[in-house]
Every structure is written in C-alpha cells, then in structure tokens.
C-alpha cells in the first residue's frame, strides 16, 4: 500500500514538473512586432507634444506596472496576445527599447496614428504608419549588430509575428472631421476605403520586404458605436452612428480581399484577417458586460479620461474604459478569439495560433 502511495506521489511530482516546464516554455515565436494606434500604444506618445497620450492616472489603474501610456485600465489586446504566445514580458515600446530588449520584438504603435500621414494631426504629434516603418528599419539595423549579419537578422525576422492594426484614425480623426480635413468632400466612402487599402497594401508589402512573413491584420471595429462618436461626432444622432459604422465596412471587405491577394502573390509568407467587429457583434450582456454606452472614467471632450478622475469600481462590467477605448476585459475577449478563433468568422483564413505554428 505504502509502495503504491509513493508511486502515485512520484507520478504526481512528474506531472507537476511537466506543467511547470510547459508554463515556462519558450514563446511560440522568437519575437512580436506591433504597428498600430492608441489601441496598442504602450508609451510611444508619452514624450510627444500631443493630446493623444495617457501617461497619467487613472490610466493603468489595473496594470501591473501602473501608468505606462497604455490607453486603457490594464492590458491592451496585444499585451494579452503576447502572453498567449508565451512571452513572459511585455513587448517594449520603440521609445524606450534598448540593447537586447529588441530581440523579443518592438511595439511601434502611436495614439492618433493612421495609414495616412495627416490623420490625427489636430491632436498634435503622432507616429504615422510610414514613420513606424522607418522606426522598424532602424530596429533592423540594430538587430544586424546584435545577430552579426543581415542574413541572420532576416532569418530571425522571418520567424516573428507582425501585428498591423491601423485605420480607425483615418476615419475618426480625418474623414469624419470635415472641419479639419477635406477627405470627406473629395471621396465617397467607397473611394476612400479603396485609397486607404491601396496605401496600406504598399506599406504591408514594404514590411514583407523588410523580412516579415507572419502578418496579422485586424479589421476595424464598429467605431460609430463608441461613446465618443455618439456624443461628439454624431451629437446623439443614431443615423449618423449607422453611417460611420457603414463607412468602415468597405475598408474591412477590401482588407479581406487584400489578405487573399497577398497570400497569392507572396506565397512564402502568410497573412491573416482578424474580424474584430464580428467578434464584438454579439450580445455584450452574455459576456457579463452591463454598461455599453458610456466609459468607466469621466471623459474630456476629446474622449480621454480627465486626469486623476475616479473611475468606476466594476470595471469588468464596462465595455469602454474612456469614451473611445475598450477596457482590459474587452481586450482579453478580443485577444483570446484572435489567438484561438471561437467561430470560423473570427479569423480568415486562420487564427494567430495557427499562423505562428
């Protein structure tokens, strides 16, 4: 009997050791590079002259490192995707990444940034996608110094995950701001979507030329339904909200077509589309969200939290943290379904877990 107990304990210890080893296994990719806007910014805007920065309380109230410049209460979607990939540290922002930090990847995302250089201009400085690509070229030069040769750096980059998520500001802080921008007077919604995707295509192909071979491209969410759009852009006009949501649909449709085109033309690389608006289209109350039309923190006129304001206590029940950005609870939901699709419509042609393996 004692012999059987000892044997059982031994097997239990072996299993616990296996679980422990799995928990500390190497990440599924050696590095993770992020290009984006405020949904992914983790501090790149902190030292810029701009209203689009969040290095103040109550931002980061639930984040392990406190206030960092993330536009939410806790983790962003890309923070959580990084965890799901097996990284035991957050991907550093380009603004502060030093030395060997860059071997795990770099986050280039910048609040108010767009596919078009001028998008977000009225808020102040921001790092557009074109500038983010220039920053990535600088990172590659540093990788060459760390790894020894250009070939070694390219081989390394070929194995990494690239996440490119822009376009919201080309609508919210450009097309639907006619007092500051002319785009809505020049282009129909379908023409504008085509122009954006044509430029995006060139930018993504440049990323491919710089060594990217595993690229995830999230679509735009229902940006007409965020509290900022409803109260500021639409002045509580429901048909205006519908118009904004309808305007981003041609962008998403063209992005799916672009994924097909890129997979056909660049067949040594893999591109996927993440259907963020589809993921968010169900009944929020089924996921435990009770408040869907207002942010958790008192907001300024530009949609960000008022500095040092007191946010709601029941943050897991709120869809929005401020009047623009989702709470960590929503980010966790989007990240989980982007990584491991719950429905076939969540990701196309596959999800992140299959892209990286």
CA distance 158 to 175: 35
Helices (H), the chain: 2-23, 77-84, 129-147, 150-158, 168-170, 183-186, 189-209, 227-228, 238-265, 276-279, 328-339, 352-356
Residues 60-73 have a mean pLDDT of 98
The predicted structure's pLDDT at residue 24: 60
Q: Which residues pair with residue 36 across a beta bridge?
A: 165
CA distance 326 to 199: 27
Residue in the block written with tokens 């060997």: 100
Give the global pTM. 0.93
- Using alpha carbons only, give the angle 39, 94, 219 rounded to the nearest 5 degrees: 30
Show which residues are catalytic: 38, 322, 325
Give the residue among 228, 31, 44 at the shortest CA–CA distance from 128. 44
pLDDT digits 0-9 by tens, 295-319: 999 999 999 999 999 999 999 999 9
Regarding beta strands 318-320 and 291-295, do their DSSP bridges make them parallel or antiparallel, or are they unpaired? parallel
pLDDT digits 0-9 by tens, 268-293: 999 999 999 999 888 899 999 999 99
Kindly tell me if the per-residue pLDDT of 15 is higher than 80.
no
The predicted structure's pLDDT at residue 7: 41
Region of poorest pLDDT, from 76-80, 208-212, 234-238, 270-274: 234-238
Residue in the block written with tokens 């085509």: 194
All structural domains of the chain: 27-356 (3.40.50.1110)
Arithmetic mean of pLDDT over the chain: 93
- The Cα-based distances of 217 to 16, 29, 180, 244, 282 in angstroms read 37, 17, 28, 21, 21
């Amino acid at each position: 009997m004692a012999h059987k107990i000892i044997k059982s304990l031994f097997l239990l210890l072996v299993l616990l050791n296996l679980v422990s080893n799995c928990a500390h296994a190497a990440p599924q990719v050696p590095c993770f590079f992020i290009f984006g806007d405020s949904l992914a910014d983790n501090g790149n805007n902190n030292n810029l002259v701009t209203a689009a920065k969040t290095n103040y309380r109550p931002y980061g109230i639930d984040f392990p490192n406190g206030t960092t410049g993330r536009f939410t209460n806790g983790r962003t979607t890309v923070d959580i995707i990084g965890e799901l990939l097996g990284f035991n540290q957050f991907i550093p922002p380009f603004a502060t990444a030093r030395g060997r930090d860059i071997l795990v990847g770099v986050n280039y995302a910048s609040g108010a940034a767009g596919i078009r250089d001028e998008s977000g201009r009225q808020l102040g400085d921001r790092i557009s996608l074109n500038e983010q690509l220039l920053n990535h070229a600088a990172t590659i030069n540093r990788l060459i110094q760390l790894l020894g040769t250009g070939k070694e750096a390219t081989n390394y980059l070929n194995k990494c995950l690239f996440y490119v998520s822009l376009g919201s500001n080309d609508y919210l802080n450009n097309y639907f701001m006619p007092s500051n921008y002319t785009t809505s007077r020049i282009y129909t919604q379908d023409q504008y979507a085509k122009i954006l995707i044509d430029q995006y295509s060139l930018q993504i192909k440049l990323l491919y030329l710089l060594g990217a071979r595993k690229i995830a491209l999230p679509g735009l969410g229902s940006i007409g339904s965020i509290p900022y759009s409803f109260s500021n852009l639409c002045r509580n006009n429901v048909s205006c909200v519908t118009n904004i949501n309808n305007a981003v649909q041609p962008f998403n449709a063209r992005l799916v077509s672009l994924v097909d085109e890129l997979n056909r033309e660049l067949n040594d690389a893999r591109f996927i589309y993440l259907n963020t608006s589809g993921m968010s289209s169900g009944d929020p109350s089924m996921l435990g969200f009770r408040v869907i039309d207002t942010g958790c923190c008192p907001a300024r006129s530009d949609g960000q939290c008022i500095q040092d304001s007191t946010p709601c206590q029941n943050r897991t029940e709120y869809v929005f943290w401020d009047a623009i950005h989702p709470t960590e609870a929503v980010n966790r939901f989007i990240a989980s379904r982007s990584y491991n699709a719950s429905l076939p419509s969540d990701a196309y042609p596959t999800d992140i877990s299959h892209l990286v393996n």
